[in-house]
Structure 1
Amino acid sequence: MVEFHVSPTGDDAAPGTADRPFATLDRARTAAREARGDVTVQLRAGTHVLTEPLELTEEDSRVVYQAFGHGTDAREEVVVSGGREVTGRRGPDGAWVAEVGNLVTRHLVVGGRRVERAGIDGLPGTVRRTATGYATDHPLDWRSPAGVEFVHRGVYPWTEARTTVASATPDGVITMAQPAFGWALEVYNYEWAGEVVSGPPAPTRVENDPAFLTEGTFALDRSRPGRHVLHYLPLPDEEPHVVVPALEVLVRVTGARDVAFRGLVFADTTWLRPGTDRGFLHYHANGFHDGGRIGRVVPAEGAWLTVPEEQEQIPAAVRLEGADGVRFEGCRFTRLGATGLGATGGTGLVVRGCDFDALAASAIALTGTEGALVEDNLVRHVGLDHSGSAGITFHGTRDCVVAHNHVHDVPHNGIVAGPSRGGTRITGNLVTRSMGVLADGGGVYLSGPQGNSTDTGAVISGNVVEDTRTPYNFGLYTDYGAAWVTVEGNLVARADNTAVLHVSPPLEHVVYRGNLFDADPVGSDAVPDGVTYEGNTTIADPAALDAAAADLRARAGLLTRRA
């Protein structure tokens, strides 16, 4: 086994030994390629700052990147960062100010913690929508209007869009950036229960102007091209140490085989798309509209809504494309501006024992992957910028297993499985405090066909789902034509609804068996033809339910207990 060492205090002219390490991951990658075999790259303690993504291709196969001492009590703390440290000064208004050139970011890192953009709840005054934006009768004191972004939360109950301002006048005339605003007028239209809505309503939140600053928030003034200015209002007695997340991608693995990452912290990226003229026209989960076809869905008699027929997906900071046998073990993904880890295609991915927190979108998103195992991961406080993002989501996969993870404090669904090619297993997970922001979702959400027989279908078993929070949610939610699904031996407690059996399109070949509920699922008194409902138990008394569910609770969640 060939071994190289890399340290933030090293030298790329050195041989990469333990006592004379390289300085950069780029140099270590080159050395590993030249070695042509099984290679371990030992990352020494400190922050390894990337100025461009680490690109790994087929010639980078059979390489392990790991924190020195991984697997022992002497493991060193290693951070792979896409951030830029900046210095500033106190301004006359008490804000910390720094000129950052042409840097753009959507969150900040101060003293190692993620800092949110300054914002206010909605537009002040009486607001009306115009052909080109909005108007309010309240004067606007915005200092950098062209950097302001609108959040449209709940435009559909499961949807949160973002559009940007092109200009605003002090007397309250707001012109929105195109094409995003025009697209929004086309995408968001519906009729439900006699109510007709056309286009996006007034924003629920307005972000990113120095006029909005409160303690512990920041704004980026981009009114002077190439001379952007950060404004951060410190907490009491705080001397800010500020890092600007700059890269959108930290690591991209394309076509490589048998690459492993062990014990590393991936941190400090951004994702700039929502702040552009194209905006972020969210529909569901990680999908958003980018100018493709728009269709109409009729979910019930007398109801309809327009939806994107073609969707793009929120990207990931660590991306796998057609890679086989890649492993992430004991890593942490934090302070990232989009999804943490994403895979498209490929086989044999293993994500085990990792922590995901303080992420703008999902923790893990898999598309078209085969044979992936997502096990023993802690997912919390994700979807901070994009509230429709689930903790863990996968779509079009085959033979993928999501087992013994703990997902908690997420804004919408905990775990999402879209239509698959069969073999989906969601087992032994603990999902708590999901659905914290948006509605119409659940702790475990599954939609569409999941194979073509009971043998190839999805199995949702041994999961504990508790405290799904917003109204109109279902702890276990088989939705939108789900077919060939067995939901067996799960517990749902303290949800708005435990489950639902009547959906549109209807469920086919779906079995609910041997589950524990604290309330009957919606539709269990008139089970539809496509559903088998047998052997389930409803116990309304919390103490009795706790006693009945003790063993199930003990088995669900993390295999390796950690805070």
Structure 2
Amino acid sequence: MLFVDPTGDDSNPGTIERPFATLDRARQAAEPGDVVNLRAGTYRLTEPFLLTAADSGVVYQAYGYGTAVQEKVVISGGRQITGWRRGEDGVCRAEVPGLATRQLYVSGRRAARASITLDHRLTRTETGYVIDDPAPGAWQGEVEFVYRGAYPWSEARCQAARITGDESSTTVTMAQPAFGWATRLYQSVISWDGPGAGESNGADAPTSAENSPAFLTEGTFALAGGVLHYLPLPGEDLDDVVAPVLETLLHARDLRDVAFRGITFAEATWLRPSTPEGFLHYHGNGYYDGGALQTVTFAEGQGQVTVPGDSATMPGNVIFENVSGVTLEGCRFTRLGGVALEFRGDGADNVLLDSVIDEVSGGGVVIGSGARRHRLENNHVHHIGRDYHGSPAVLMSGTTDTVVAHNEVNDVPHAGIVVYEGRGAKVLNNLIHDTMQVLADGGGIYVAGSQGVSHASGALIRGNVVRDTITPYNFGLYTDYGAAWVTVQGNLVHRADSPVVLNVSPPLEHVAFIGNVWDADPGEAPEGVTLAENTTLPKEAFDDNPAVSDIVAGAGRVRPH
């Protein structure tokens, strides 16, 4: 047994009476089979906590884990902000030279970046925009333009490099290369009946602007010229203000058989959107980073879109790379600025269990290509995608035999659970509600690409409850873009635009919908799709139906293990 305490000393022997002070000192002392007990407090990191193969076989846990006296342990990448001065305008200011962050937390509450809606008349030019209004010429700070709905499923961010004005107008010069990339990427001709229909260029119409002191309202902040500006809520004190500064809290590579229990990972950021390259979101956690573009033409005259030839992906704030046998149990991932948790590279049999992921700027969990037999069970993922609204709660891409079971997913700006091409994914008995809150053309569960070579080796989507899929043009269970070898069985879909979609491009192949209960008729099945034993109920009949009750009883979280 080893012990760590924020008030300890790294020259101590690491006993309960004389604990270490830092995680890294405990790592150095730990041997396979050791349990590192973290005493209560916040462990503020100044650099990422790194683990390698030599650190295998160790358990890190909150002291008293699993008992009534479990202590609260936070691993933080944040910096406390002090030295506030209140101006006559009510704005509090703190000198923060060198600070780079995109988030701020006041007494644990997420403070939004100051923003305004761009309802001005804008004309796009080769270098930016001309605004038919002189007032924006007074905007100061590192202003960022947001493009919600650049595609119906996308939201982009680009920096303004310079803002100047005269008596009649304002000229905005946008940062390059992001602006040039955006004008080439977001070109579409969409002919179907849904958001984004018609010919458009998403760069024509930024929807909001952020991060100028001129935009401040109560409870919001702006970072400009080395000064943090914050307009407090009525009666709010500034004794506990934290700005995330690290982009990575934990990065584990090549290790085996490690556990983290009862630990909160908090306060990290992701700075890519603040660079001249911006954040040109495409789908899920993917974004365009230059390189080749492709034109995708849809079938039956539905139109075409320009897409990245290859996408970069938003990174995790907690990363496990090429690891196996890692268990994360009873943990919390909160106040994070990228993807909360990422399993990257080859690895097998990693587990996230009985944990909570919330208040995350980007995605919740990513399980990436090479992962085998990973399991996400009995977790609650909610209020993610707070800044990057295309981010899903759970994303699997290129995995084999991943199981996502008995989780609750809610309050998500786009899709809840996303399954890209892979093999043998099982999405079982999850409760997914209040998804698609911001962007369009997605679903509570979204599946795209081939999932195997037979129904036995393919994806199984079974026993899930999907309800309250909110924005227009969405589907409760969305099999899309060449999905193949998918069995969708015994699910309940309630209150979406449509329960499922059957006609997509490229078409579905070997997709079977069996024994589901939904509140709208999905229509006739095209070639490649099987519909069997499904039940369509009127919305008002859901409360008293035994089939509905059985599915509801089996979905969502169960008592912690």
Cα deviation for residue 301 of structure 1 reads 3.5
In the alignment, structure 1 residue 260 sits paired with structure 2 residue 259: yes
For residue 269 of structure 2, what is the amino acid of its counterpart? T
State how 1:96-495 maps to structure 2 within 5 Å.
96-122=92-118, 124-141=119-136, 145=140, 147-171=142-166, 172-193=170-191, 195-222=198-225, 228-240=226-238, 241-302=240-301, 303-345=303-345, 346-368=347-369, 369-420=371-422, 422-495=423-496
For residue 380 of structure 2, what is the amino acid of its counterpart? L
For residue 87 of structure 2, what is the amino acid of its counterpart? G
For structure 2, which runs of at least 5 residues remain unmatched after alignment?
Answer: 192-196
Q: Deviations over 1:64-106 (max 9, x none)?
A: 1110011101000100000011112212221111111101111
2:299 and 2:506 in contact (8 A); partners too: no
2:115 and 2:209 in contact (8 A); partners too: yes
Cα deviation for residue 126 of structure 1 reads 1.7
Q: State the alpha-carbon separation in 2 of the partners of residues 250 and 503 from structure 1.
A: 40
Q: State the alpha-carbon separation in 1 of the partners of residues 103 and 465 from structure 2.
A: 33
1:518 and 1:545 in contact (8 A); partners too: no
492 and 544 in structure 1: CA distance in 2 versus 1, 3 angstrom threshold: closer
Q: State the alpha-carbon separation in 2 of the partners of residues 493 and 231 from structure 1.
A: 44
In the alignment, structure 1 residue 518 sits paired with structure 2 residue 519: yes
2:147 and 2:203 in contact (8 A); partners too: yes
For structure 1, which runs of at least 5 residues remain unmatched after alignment?
Answer: 223-227
Q: State the alpha-carbon separation in 2 of the partners of residues 7 and 118 from structure 1.
A: 37
Q: State the alpha-carbon separation in 2 of the partners of residues 62 and 139 from structure 1.
A: 63
Q: Deviations over 1:402-435 (max 9, x none)?
A: 0000000100000000000x11100000000000
1:46 and 1:78 in contact (8 A); partners too: yes
Determine the structure 1 residue equivalent to 2:70: 75
DSSP 3-state at the match of 1:238: coil
Cα deviation for residue 559 of structure 1 reads 1.1
Determine the structure 1 residue equivalent to 2:89: 93
Q: State the alpha-carbon separation in 1 of the partners of residues 278 and 229 from structure 2.
A: 23
1:133 and 1:176 in contact (8 A); partners too: yes
For residue 460 of structure 2, what is the amino acid of its counterpart? V
TM-score normalised per structure 1: 0.95
Q: Deviations over 1:342-361 (max 9, x none)?
A: 01121111000000110011
DSSP 3-state at the match of 2:204: coil
1:509 and 1:531 in contact (8 A); partners too: yes
Determine the structure 2 residue equivalent to 1:225: none
1:108 and 1:245 in contact (8 A); partners too: yes
DSSP 3-state at the match of 2:203: coil
Q: State the alpha-carbon separation in 2 of the partners of residues 542 and 213 from structure 1.
A: 44
Q: Which moved more, 1:143-152 or 1:257-266?
A: 143-152
For residue 402 of structure 2, what is the amino acid of its counterpart? C
Q: Which moved more, 1:458-467 or 1:233-242?
A: 233-242
Cα deviation for residue 142 of structure 1 reads 6.1
Q: State the alpha-carbon separation in 2 of the partners of residues 467 and 203 from structure 1.
A: 28
2:187 and 2:305 in contact (8 A); partners too: yes
DSSP 3-state at the match of 1:30: helix
Q: Which moved more, 1:350-359 or 1:130-139?
A: 130-139
Determine the structure 1 residue equivalent to 2:194: none
82 and 143 in structure 1: CA distance in 2 versus 1, 3 angstrom threshold: farther
67 and 74 in structure 1: CA distance in 2 versus 1, 3 angstrom threshold: same
Q: CA RMSD of the aligned region, Å?
A: 1.4
2:147 and 2:202 in contact (8 A); partners too: no
Cα deviation for residue 247 of structure 1 reads 0.2
2:85 and 2:92 in contact (8 A); partners too: yes
Q: State the alpha-carbon separation in 1 of the partners of residues 316 and 139 from structure 2.
A: 29
Cα deviation for residue 527 of structure 1 reads 1.1
2:328 and 2:352 in contact (8 A); partners too: yes
2:141 and 2:211 in contact (8 A); partners too: no
DSSP 3-state at the match of 2:278: coil
For residue 150 of structure 1, what is the amino acid of its counterpart? F
Q: State the alpha-carbon separation in 2 of the partners of residues 43 and 22 from structure 1.
A: 9
Cα deviation for residue 561 of structure 1 reads 7.4
1:442 and 1:476 in contact (8 A); partners too: yes
Q: Deviations over 1:518-547 (max 9, x none)?
A: 1112xx3x2111011100000114235542
Q: State the alpha-carbon separation in 2 of the partners of residues 363 and 199 from structure 1.
A: 26
1:485 and 1:509 in contact (8 A); partners too: yes
Determine the structure 2 residue equivalent to 1:48: 43
Q: State the alpha-carbon separation in 2 of the partners of residues 352 and 130 from structure 1.
A: 51
155 and 265 in structure 1: CA distance in 2 versus 1, 3 angstrom threshold: same
1:142 and 1:210 in contact (8 A); partners too: no
397 and 173 in structure 1: CA distance in 2 versus 1, 3 angstrom threshold: same
Determine the structure 1 residue equivalent to 2:7: 9
1:320 and 1:344 in contact (8 A); partners too: yes
Q: State the alpha-carbon separation in 2 of the partners of residues 546 and 23 from structure 1.
A: 57
1:107 and 1:115 in contact (8 A); partners too: yes
Q: What is the percent sequence identity of the aligned residues? A: 53
Q: Deviations over 1:292-345 (max 9, x none)?
A: 210000123441110001001110110011011111000000000011000112
TM-score normalised per structure 2: 0.96
DSSP 3-state at the match of 1:27: helix
For residue 439 of structure 1, what is the amino acid of its counterpart? A
For residue 246 of structure 2, what is the amino acid of its counterpart? L
DSSP 3-state at the match of 2:545: helix
1:184 and 1:281 in contact (8 A); partners too: yes
For residue 436 of structure 2, what is the amino acid of its counterpart? M
